[in-house]
Amino acid sequence: MINRYGPWMDTNLAVPLDATRCKVVFDYFLNESLLDDQDFIDRSLKDSEQVQVYYHKTDRRSPR
């Protein structure tokens, strides 16, 4: 899957592990104009991780 939002683009690759599990690999790409703004990068990646963890914990298919 490819997602584009503002200056960010990411790819999500779902790799099957078995019949009920997969590993998701995230790769992030950022507009060159923001490459030197480490605070922005850190905040954005933290926000992204919080969203991913939230959906992982609340999805009915998530391991308990």
Q: Where are the domains of the chain?
A: 2-58
Q: What's the confidence (pLDDT) of residue 34?
A: 95
Taking only the tens place, the pLDDT of each residue in 23-49 is 989 899 999 999 999 999 999 889 888
Indicate yes or no: pTM above 0.75: no
CB 53 within 8 A of CB 38: no
Dihedral sign for Cα 13, 43, 35, 32, please: positive
Token pair for residue 60?
Answer: 């009915």
Assess whether pLDDT exceeds 80 at residue 1: yes
The C-alpha atoms of residue 19 and residue 29 are separated, in whole angstroms, by 31
The C-alpha atoms of residue 6 and residue 35 are separated, in whole angstroms, by 14
Distances from the Cα of 2 to the Cα of 25, 41, 61, angstroms = 12, 19, 22
